Amino acid sequence: MAASTLLISGTDTGVGKTTLTACLATYCQIYHPDRRLGIYKPIQSGIGDREYFRAALNLPYALEQITPLYYQTPVASAIAARREQQPVDLGLLWQHLQTWQAHTDLLLVEGMGGLGSPITWEYLNADLARDWHLPVVLAVPLRLGAMGQAIAHLALARLAQVQVIGLVVCCTEPHSRQYLEDWFPPALISRLLTVPILGILPYVPDLRDRSALARAAAQLELGYLGIF
């Protein structure tokens, strides 16, 4: 049986992709312990997500399995690859995806930046999602400008023929309900968007608190994802 695979993408960097990925992964570990879970971040520039995932989620994988293509320069992969003279090998990344899918029941793929972020000088994250046939969950931060970014990303997804399952509003810092209504009113957004809002991911102050991560995931409309 092929693994259920989701691409967790976002409208930018620092919008909550890592937190959302960790929440979904922890929910799976706690409530579906019989499912073989994998987390795959194809490319990483600088120390960060792969180290966090392995430590915080107690993953029994080497860093090279989580992220096969690593650059020390903490910039976009297309730029890091040129600086370090290590080209982005898309074939290698595809092979690792197939290996993950063959040995897991649920695979969460964390994207590199937004759908419009470049992987190479000619290839975007949206191109990868299309070519790998990955359904996307889009993380959108609760902040000024988020509505426009969300709408633009959904337009890009349609242009690239990428399936976006839904959108998750991510609180990257504590916010009141009034703040949500002021900057990302659900009633208005539901009229403008062509995909469902899967919920609001609350702020999680300690990203190593597994119980808090799982509780945050439980507040989302997980049924839309088709993975649990």
List the catalytic residues.
Answer: 41
Cα angle, residue 223 at apex, residues 101 and 43 outer, rounded to 5°: 35
Residue 19 CA: distances (Å) to CA of 1, 29, 51: 28, 15, 14
Write out the two tokens for 197: 């809002």
Determine the Cα–Cα distance for residues 173 and 177; give it in Å rounded to an integer: 13
* DSSP code per residue over the chain: -PPEEEEEEESSSSSSHHHHHHHHHHHHHHH-TTSPEEEE-SEEESSSHHHHHHHHTT--S-HHHH-SEEESS-S-HHHHHHHHT----HHHHHHHHHHHHHH-SEEEEEEEEETTSBSSSS-BHHHHHHHTT--EEEEEESSTTHHHHHHHHHHHHHHHT--EEEEEEE-SS---HHHHHHHS-HHHHHHH-SS-EEEEE---S-TT-HHHHHHHHHTS-GGGGT--
